[in-house]
Structure 1
């Protein structure tokens, strides 16, 4: 069967690819990065969903209508009712799909800023963005190995041009891979992300929001508006490009306060009860307000540094995040309010006054800053605290390519461009003037699935003669995607072979190149041009892998010459090493 080309390997592209396979289409996925995942892996708070099975089990009275109203209020004057209806109306099904198809734990539900109900889903341990994206990524890579006639993945493949036929329909792409320019044919789904790290010569950021040009960003360097520029070059319409979200809580590394790229503090940190305090130890804003509002109040208050403070109860509720941030040097733990007051540079009595006032506010529900939702438990000086310095950061671009409710890219003439679709952050208008926390992953999954549905339908329409054959293949592909016993015997056997193969690789890797090294020997290799780490008893030489690490170089450099097992296991499944960096294993740690 003919293929659909997916450009971008983040969550939107992956969701589109899996949906295409379910609908019987073949997939060619092109990603310019050495590893798929994109910014989706960095999402820390969770994925929104209204009317999900999890909410029903927890007795949360939420539905798509309530979610629609919350989103429309956040989007303000730029609300697109048709797109919001798709986003919110399909949100419950999207979360259920992730749980049912990929066996994901999304059993915890939190209320983030701007939401009238708890609806942001995450699991009990790792960053939800990473867990959700990796689950889809690994499944697609397995399919690329077991059924290469159905799925092809090309990394480090940069699309340079969209190809059109005489009628103006998009019929393929031109891309550069391994130094050679190649072409591929089929309808195209753009899932290339936003432009909040677009510091290039033709920067969309500088053109539309020059006042934000000097701000730090949470985005990877790949977020340079590639999909926008490709589509606009052939007549696509773009909307709301000036709507760039500045997130209030970027984590400041005390060792690199001026770093251009910042790690994002999960919005869930405020959702579980974290307080924002200025340099006088005072609150100045409703911590659960919309992101742009909180950012504005930080700028208006101007009393820096501003700290996000979690007490013992809030810290325990989101313990993994705190432990991760502390491990990276982005958060500090204090054993008492007195120690925290000393860090801020204020008398302990001043901090106690802030806590006492907040306790009264939480009980009476009368906050001068308008806060409506409060976590249980009192703020006391004899408690432990996890604290991080915050700064506003470029985070998300609401503007992008204009799409309709079927994810079809709209041209400057107001009509859909045949054969071209968009999903995720590259698609504009979905979130209006401001995006709600938890809706970025949701937008990727919902519109990834919508674009997959639409592109598959378009493909079948263009190739009607093979529609019947595609329908027959649907059951086979669906079987591949099922995690349970519904897979056909042949598919199951192939997956078992792949699993065995992976285990063999892991087994070989555990012995590495036969060496045994002491911790003292590993410690000598602690420089950027010669870096070893210990993970689960294995010794890894990650020098050549360093620039390609999806989490950035710093994540590895923090553990140069040391045991990184605890941090690694927080974030990764054990099979990550044999799958993505088997050659890095050089031996075992000598006991």
Structure 2
């Protein structure tokens, strides 16, 4: 069967690819980055879902109707009921699909700002965005090795333009790869992300929201609106491009307060009970309000620095996040309220007054800032606190290509452009004027699956009855594509496997003849142009890997010349090194 081209290797593109395979279509995935994942790997709060298996087991009385109402309220005047119905109505199935097909732990459910029920799912350990995206990414890469006739992945492949035929249908893409310009043919799903890091010469951000141009961003440098610009160039319509979400809680690194790219503080930190305090130690907002509302109140209050404070109970509820932020130097732990008051620059009695007032609010359920939902646990000075400095940051672009409920991209007359589909942040109108926390990953999975379904159906219609028979034969064996392991998949030839490993960057073994190094020797290699780290007793020279690291150079440089085992294992599966950076291993640590 002919292929569908997926442009973008984040969660939306991966969800589309897996859905296409389930429907019997072949997949060519093109991603301009050295590693797939995109911003999806950075999502820290979780994925929304209404009526999920997990909610039912926990006795949470949620429904797609309640979720629809919450989303429409957040979207306000720009609400697209048809798209919101798809997002919320398919949310429970999306979460169940992730759990059932990829064996993911999504057993914890939290209530984020703007939600009337707890519905944001995450697991017990790592960042949910990373866990969800890596599970799909690794499965797809395994399939690219085991069934290369069905799945092809090309990284560092930048799509230049969409190709149309004489009828106006999109029939492929032109892209650059390894210094050459190539073409690929088939229907196209755009999953290229947003434009909240679009600081290019033809920036959509600067054109539609110039006043936000100087703000820091949480987005990777790849988020430059590529998909939007390519589609607009062939007559697609865009909506709400001025709707750019500024997230209230970007983490300020005390060592680099003016850094353009900021790490995001998970909204779940406030969901478990974290408080926002200004530089006088006082609250000024309902911490669980919509993101744009909280951001506005931060600017209105103006008493910076503003700190996010978690007491002992909240810190325990989201222990992994706190440990991770502390390890990266973005959060500080204080052993009591007196130490925290000293850090803020106020008297202990003033901080105690804030805590006492909040405890009374929790008891009476009467908050002057309108808060309605409260986490358990009393705030007292004799407690431990995890604290970080916050700043508003560019985070998410609600605007994008106009799509219909089938993820088809529409032209300026409101008609679908044949052969062109969009999923994830590249598509506009799904979240209206303001996106709810937890709906970013959801939008990727739901519309990734919708676009995969629609593109596969389109392909069948274009190819006719012969393709339907072929799809039927492929569908009969499609079950193995959803298996936890690719061991049951049809074997590839040795040559094909080796070619696919080279294409995806996956190699199975570390260099032979390993040397041993002392800790003192490793510690000397602690600079950007000479960077070694230790992971599980292995010594890695990651100097050349720094520019390609999905989490940015800084995440590695924090551990230059040091043992990074604990932090690495908090975030990664052990097979990440042999799969993505086997050549970095230069030896072992001498015991």
Tell whether the structures are fold-level matches, with TM greater than 0.5: yes
Give the match for residue 379 of structure 2: 379
Cα distance change of structure 1 residues 535 and 506 upon mapping to structure 2, 3 Å threshold: farther
Give the match for residue 206 of structure 2: 206
| Residue 475 of structure 1: how far off its partner (Å) | 2.9
| Residue 474 of structure 1: how far off its partner (Å) | 1.5
* Inter-partner Cα distance in structure 2 for 1:19 and 1:301: 47
Matches within 5 A, 1:87-236: 87-236=87-236
Contact kept, 8 Å, 1:512 with 1:585, in 2: the verdict is: no
CA deviations on 1:431-454 (whole Å, 9 max, x unpaired) are: 000000000000000000000000
Q: Does 2:544 correspond to 1:526? A: no
Contact kept, 8 Å, 1:227 with 1:426, in 2: the verdict is: yes
* Inter-partner Cα distance in structure 1 for 2:63 and 2:413: 36
Give the match for residue 368 of structure 2: 368
Give the match for residue 517 of structure 1: 517
Give the match for residue 450 of structure 1: 450
Contact kept, 8 Å, 2:146 with 2:492, in 1: the verdict is: no
* Inter-partner Cα distance in structure 1 for 2:82 and 2:477: 34
| Residue 514 of structure 1: how far off its partner (Å) | 1.5
Give the match for residue 337 of structure 2: 337
CA deviations on 1:145-197 (whole Å, 9 max, x unpaired) are: 11111000000111111000010000000000011110000000000000000
| Residue 476 of structure 1: how far off its partner (Å) | 2.0
- DSSP 3-state at the match of 1:35: coil
* Inter-partner Cα distance in structure 2 for 1:437 and 1:117: 13
- DSSP 3-state at the match of 1:588: strand
| Residue 513 of structure 1: how far off its partner (Å) | 3.8
Give the match for residue 483 of structure 2: 482
Contact kept, 8 Å, 1:512 with 1:586, in 2: the verdict is: no
Give the match for residue 355 of structure 1: 355
| Residue 319 of structure 1: how far off its partner (Å) | 0.4
Consecutive unaligned residues in structure 1, runs of 5 or more: none
| Residue 478 of structure 1: how far off its partner (Å) | 2.6
CA deviations on 1:480-522 (whole Å, 9 max, x unpaired) are: 22227xx895549999x99xx99xx99953x754101111110
Number of equivalenced pairs: 583
* Inter-partner Cα distance in structure 1 for 2:507 and 2:133: 22
CA deviations on 1:513-547 (whole Å, 9 max, x unpaired) are: 41011111100111111110000010000011111
Give the match for residue 255 of structure 1: 255
- DSSP 3-state at the match of 2:65: helix
Contact kept, 8 Å, 2:6 with 2:28, in 1: the verdict is: yes
Matches within 5 A, 1:380-459: 380-459=380-459
Give the match for residue 319 of structure 1: 319
Matches within 5 A, 1:298-309: 298-309=298-309
Give the match for residue 538 of structure 1: 538
* Inter-partner Cα distance in structure 1 for 2:111 and 2:491: 40
- DSSP 3-state at the match of 2:162: strand
Cα distance change of structure 1 residues 558 and 488 upon mapping to structure 2, 3 Å threshold: closer
* Inter-partner Cα distance in structure 2 for 1:215 and 1:244: 12
- DSSP 3-state at the match of 2:533: strand
* Inter-partner Cα distance in structure 1 for 2:583 and 2:415: 50
* Inter-partner Cα distance in structure 2 for 1:147 and 1:106: 29
Give the match for residue 41 of structure 1: 41
* Inter-partner Cα distance in structure 2 for 1:267 and 1:79: 23
Contact kept, 8 Å, 1:252 with 1:388, in 2: the verdict is: yes
Cα distance change of structure 1 residues 492 and 362 upon mapping to structure 2, 3 Å threshold: farther
Give the match for residue 473 of structure 1: 474
Contact kept, 8 Å, 2:481 with 2:489, in 1: the verdict is: no
* Inter-partner Cα distance in structure 1 for 2:572 and 2:155: 21
Cα distance change of structure 1 residues 473 and 83 upon mapping to structure 2, 3 Å threshold: same
Aligned Cα root-mean-square deviation (Å): 1.7
* Inter-partner Cα distance in structure 1 for 2:454 and 2:435: 24
| Residue 477 of structure 1: how far off its partner (Å) | 2.8
Runs of 4+ off more than 3 Å: 487-495, 505-508
Consecutive unaligned residues in structure 2, runs of 5 or more: none
Contact kept, 8 Å, 2:146 with 2:491, in 1: the verdict is: no
- DSSP 3-state at the match of 1:366: coil
* Inter-partner Cα distance in structure 1 for 2:472 and 2:132: 28
Contact kept, 8 Å, 1:248 with 1:292, in 2: the verdict is: yes
- Normalising by structure 2, we get a TM-score of 0.97
- DSSP 3-state at the match of 1:452: helix
- Normalising by structure 1, we get a TM-score of 0.97
| Residue 238 of structure 1: how far off its partner (Å) | 0.1
- DSSP 3-state at the match of 2:453: helix
* Inter-partner Cα distance in structure 2 for 1:185 and 1:32: 18
| Residue 340 of structure 1: how far off its partner (Å) | 0.2
* Inter-partner Cα distance in structure 2 for 1:266 and 1:494: 44
| Residue 100 of structure 1: how far off its partner (Å) | 0.4
- DSSP 3-state at the match of 1:339: helix
Contact kept, 8 Å, 1:71 with 1:436, in 2: the verdict is: yes
Cα distance change of structure 1 residues 343 and 420 upon mapping to structure 2, 3 Å threshold: same
Contact kept, 8 Å, 1:522 with 1:561, in 2: the verdict is: yes
Contact kept, 8 Å, 2:6 with 2:190, in 1: the verdict is: yes
| Residue 212 of structure 1: how far off its partner (Å) | 0.2
- DSSP 3-state at the match of 2:292: helix
Contact kept, 8 Å, 2:30 with 2:157, in 1: the verdict is: yes
Matches within 5 A, 1:263-282: 263-282=263-282
Cα distance change of structure 1 residues 140 and 508 upon mapping to structure 2, 3 Å threshold: closer
- DSSP 3-state at the match of 2:51: coil
Q: Does 2:548 correspond to 1:563? A: no
* Inter-partner Cα distance in structure 1 for 2:482 and 2:114: 35
